Structure 1
Amino acid sequence: MATADGSNAEIDTRLFITVSGPPGCGATTLCKRLADAMGCPYVSGGDIFRELADDRDMSLNQLTAEADGSDEIDRALDRRLQQIAEKWGMANKPFILESRLAGWLAGERADLRIWLDAPEDVRLERIDDRGETDAEMRVREVSEAGRYQSYYEIDIGNQTFYDLQINTARWSKHGVFSLVRTAIEEYDPEVDEGAFSTPTLEP
C-alpha cells in the first residue's frame, strides 16, 4: 500500500537503469528503494567485490591492493557485470545495475544512466559503519580511478554521458528517490531524441 507521500507506490516501468558514483554517494540506498518500487532485482558491483574478498579471506583493502598488482580481479568482475548487462538488456524487464562502471559496462543497453555524488566530508560520514577508514576510502578511489584509466582509458571523472546527475547531499533519501522516480515515470521513448553514446568496453 502506498503512503501519503507515495514513497511505497509501485513504479510501472521496464527500464534497465544503471546507478554509479563514489563510495558513500547513496547508491545502495537508492537502488534498494528503486528495486522495491519497481519490483525488480538489482546487482551491485560492490557486493560482488566483497564476495571476492570473502572468498579469499581478505579485507576490502587487501583485495584492492591485490587488484592494484594485477588486472585479473577487475577484469573478471567487469566481465561478470557486462554479462549481466547483456542478459538484462535483452530481457525487456526492469533491472538495476550498480557499480562505478555500470554506465560504461551497460553501454547502449541501459535505458537510464544515473550518477550520484556528494561532497567528500558527507561521504566519509556515511561510510563510518562500513569498517573502512577515511584513508582507505581515499586510497580505494584513487586506486580504482587509476586502474580504469590503465585498463580501459576511462576517465571516471567524465560524467557527460549520464542522463541524470544528483548531489545526494542536497536532498533527503526520500528526496533523491523522488527525483529519480519522476525521471523514470516521465520517460517516454517516443520523445527520446537519443542518449549520449558510450565506448564499448572489452574487459
Structure 2
Amino acid sequence: MIITIGGLAGSGTSTTSHILSEKTGIPLISAGDIFRRMAQERGMEILEFSKFAEGNNQIDQEIDQRQAKLAHEADDLIVEGRLSAYFVDADLKVWCTAPLDVRTERISQREKKPTLQAREEILTREASETQRYQEIHQIDIKNMDVYDIIINTHAFKADSVAQIILKVTEVIKCQQ
C-alpha cells in the first residue's frame, strides 16, 4: 500500500509517518530526506543547498519526481511531504492539520526558539510556499480535494493519528 502524508510545518507529519512506519514495517521516505540526499550529492551543506534551491525551481521539481519514482517502484511505501499527494499515485492520501498556535508551540519547542519567532517564521514560510507551489506546479496548497482524509493532529496524540490511518487502510483493503 502506498500512503502519502502531508501537512503544514508543525502539523505532525514527520512524527505520524515515523510511528506509522514502525507499526506497519512499511518503509518511509520524506521530501526532507530526499532534499538532504540531493545536497549531499552536490557536495553542499543543507543551509547552502537551501539557499541554492530558493532560486532554482528545478530542485522542487526534482524532489517531486524522485518521490514519485520511488513510490512507483514500491509495493508498500509511506511518502511524507507537503506536495506528495499531488505527485505520488497513492492508495491513501492523508493531510495532517493543526491550529497555528499549536503548530507554533510545537516548532518553538522542537527548535528551541521563542514562540513569536517560530510563528513569524511559519507565516513567512507558508506565504512563500503558497506562492512557489502555485507558480511552479499550479497547485493551490489550501485546496484539500486531493486528500482522502484530513486529520486534526491537535485533537489526537501522534500514536492515535497513526491508528486512525491504519484503520482507514484496513477499510481500503476490504474494498479492493
TM range (shorter): 0.7 to 0.9
State TM-score, norm by structure 2.
0.85
Match of 1:97 in 2: 79
Aligned match of 1:125 in 85, 92, 105? Answer: 105
Name the SS for the 2:151 alignment partner: strand
**1:99 and 1:78 mapped to 2: Cα distance?**
9
Number of the residue aligned with 1:150: 135
- Who is 1:4 aligned against? none
Q: In 2, distance between residues paired with 1:85 and 1:72?
A: 20
Q: Work out whether residues 53 and 63 of structure 1, in 8 Å CA contact, stay in contact via their aligned partners in 2.
A: yes
TM-score norm. by structure 1 comes to 0.74
Q: Offset at 1:19?
A: 0.4
Q: Which runs of 5+ in 2 are unaligned?
A: none
Q: Does 1:85 align with 2:91?
A: no
* Alpha-carbon distance, 1:149 to partner: 0.4
Matched residues in 2 for 1:184 and 1:104: separation? 19
State the secondary structure of the residue aligned to 1:186: helix
The answer to whether the 8 Å contact 1:18/1:110 transfers is yes
* Cα displacement string for residues 25-80 of structure 1 (whole angstroms, at most 9, x for unaligned residues): 11111111111111121101022224445652242xx6555433221221222221
When residues 119 and 53 of structure 1 are mapped into structure 2, their CA distance, relative to the original with a 3 A threshold, is farther
Q: By how many angstroms is 1:183 displaced?
A: 0.8
Gaps of 5+ in 1: 1-14, 193-203
Normalized per residue, the structure richer in helix is 2
Question: In the alignment, does 2:93 pair up with 1:113?
Answer: yes
- 1:56 alignment partner, one of 41, 44, 52: 44
Q: How big is the shift at 1:85?
A: 2.2
Q: Does the C-alpha gap of structure 1 residues 65 and 57 become closer, same or farther in structure 2, counting only changes over 3 Å?
A: closer
For residues 29 and 19 of structure 2, the distance between their equivalents in structure 1, rounded to whole angstroms, comes to 13
